[in-house]
């Protein structure tokens, strides 16, 4: 079954590259960083995210961390451009860091596995020959692993927080807002466990969180997260799009449409923010708050069979992907049921 996937995954490489490449003019606008020279902000590849020998700027009041989906940069996943974030501090093959005009907010953009960066390189791999680039692209696309993969992205974002903390640029009062789409939603949920080490004000917004063709990624949000919102698309029927086990959410929203119904160009469409479970009606933006699993199912019809967020055994790949003692896939109806069960306790 897997024999044809690499070739299929590479079919649209040129299209993906064209979509990811933007004007290089932004490189000319790299501004001085507010990070003092005591903050190395260097990752394991030795590349510095900070700019040395610059004046110490104001403390960071907010850090926004955005995790992109597979084959997508963070900008594509959230339908933004560099100009939305202020001044660029630094961009590497791993991520980009921007500082707001007032110096109080950092925007950390982490691209998804297999994404082509603005420079045409594959996320996390730098400039290499086309064969290797396409190989890295296929590897990240299918598995979500490797350099530039889910675990690596979470690790580097955590290192950035640690070095900002050591440089006294953030403290427990700094807001850390985490947003992730698709595999980036799972990465972002896992990243909450790092974020709460540095802040008492962490929020999470997961859009269509999926682990891809693996059963070893749960979405267990840290219980100290101030607000944890997860959105599912009702008719997400793409192969291998299984929802991970989900815990510690405060808001579940089911929207109309397939995977990405609230990402890309539709990212800014408003979603309910208050705690609870919400189902979108026939009209876009018309959300109904439900109070039980049965009420949700009555509105959705029979989502366990119409959506690919369904039990693994009911999916065509069920004979390959099995739940284990530590990890299990769950439908969004199961997530809704779990939510209401925990509300009773």
| Domain edges within the chain | 5-344
Which residues make Cβ contacts (< 8 Å) with residue 315, sequence separation at least 6? 242, 308, 321
As beta bridge partners, residue 107 has 64, 98
Q: Cβ distance 105 to 62 under 8 Å?
A: yes
Q: What pLDDT score was predicted for residue 94?
A: 80
* Distance in angstroms (rounded) separating the CA atoms of residues 84 and 64: 13
State pLDDT tens for residues 127-169: 677 777 778 888 887 788 888 888 889 998 999 999 899 888 8
What is the bridge-based pairing of β-strands 287-290 and 246-247? unpaired
Q: Indicate whether 2 pLDDT > 50.
A: no
Q: Indicate whether 266 pLDDT > 50.
A: yes
Q: What angle do CA 203, 204, 205 make, to 5 degrees?
A: 130
Tokens 């466990």: give the residue: 193
Q: Cβ distance 84 to 66 under 8 Å?
A: no
Q: Cβ distance 114 to 212 under 8 Å?
A: no
Q: What is the largest CA-CA distance in the chain?
A: 61
Q: Indicate whether 224 pLDDT > 90.
A: yes
With 0-12 / 13-18 / 19 or more C-beta atoms within 10 angstroms meaning exposed / middle / buried, residue 131 is: exposed
Tokens 């953030």: give the residue: 170
181: confidence class by pLDDT, cuts 50, 70, 90: very high
Average pLDDT over residues 194-212: 93
What is the bridge-based pairing of β-strands 287-290 and 276-280? antiparallel
Average pLDDT over residues 58-73: 90
Angle subtended by helix axes 183-195 and 150-166, to nearest 10: 30
Q: What pLDDT score was predicted for residue 55?
A: 42
State pLDDT tens for residues 113-128: 888 877 778 888 876 7
Q: What's 79's DSSP letter?
A: T
């Amino acid at each position: 079954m897997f024999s044809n996937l690499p070739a299929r995954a590479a079919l649209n490489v040129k299209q993906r590259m064209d979509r990811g490449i933007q004007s290089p003019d932004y490189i000319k606008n790299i501004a001085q960083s507010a990070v003092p020279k005591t903050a190395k902000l260097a990752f394991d590849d030795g590349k510095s995210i900070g700019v040395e020998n610059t004046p110490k700027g104001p403390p960071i009041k907010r850090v926004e961390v955005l995790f992109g989906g597979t084959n997508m940069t963070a900008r594509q996943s959230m339908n933004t451009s560099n100009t939305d974030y202020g001044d660029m501090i630094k961009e590497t093959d791993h991520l980009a860091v921007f500082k707001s005009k007032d110096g109080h907010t950092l925007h950390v953009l982490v691209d998804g596995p297999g994404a082509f960066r603005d420079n045409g390189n594959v996320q996390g791999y730098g400039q290499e020959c086309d064969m290797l680039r396409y190989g890295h692209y296929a590897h990240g696309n299918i598995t979500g692993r490797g350099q530039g993969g889910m675990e690596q992205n979470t690790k580097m974002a955590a290192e950035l927080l640690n070095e900002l903390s050591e440089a006294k640029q953030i403290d427990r009062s700094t807001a850390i807002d985490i947003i992730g789409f698709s595999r980036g939603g799972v990465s972002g949920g896992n990243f909450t466990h790092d974020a709460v080490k540095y802040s008492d004000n962490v929020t999470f917004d997961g859009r269509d969180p999926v682990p891809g063709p693996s059963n070893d990624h749960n979405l267990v949000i840290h219980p100290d997260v101030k607000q944890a919102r997860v959105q599912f698309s009702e008719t997400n029927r793409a192969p291998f799009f299984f929802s991970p086990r989900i815990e510690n959410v405060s808001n579940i929203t089911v929207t109309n449409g397939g995977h990405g119904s609230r990402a890309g160009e539709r990212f800014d469409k408003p979603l309910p923010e208050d705690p609870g479970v919400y189902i979108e009606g026939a009209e876009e933006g018309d959300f109904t708050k439900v109070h039980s699993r049965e009420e949700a199912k009555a509105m959705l019809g029979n989502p366990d069979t119409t959506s690919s967020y369904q039990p693994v055994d009911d999916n065509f790949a069920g004979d390959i992907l099995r739940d284990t003692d530590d990890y299990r896939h769950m439908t969004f109806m199961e997530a809704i049921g779990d939510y209401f069960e925990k509300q009773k306790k």
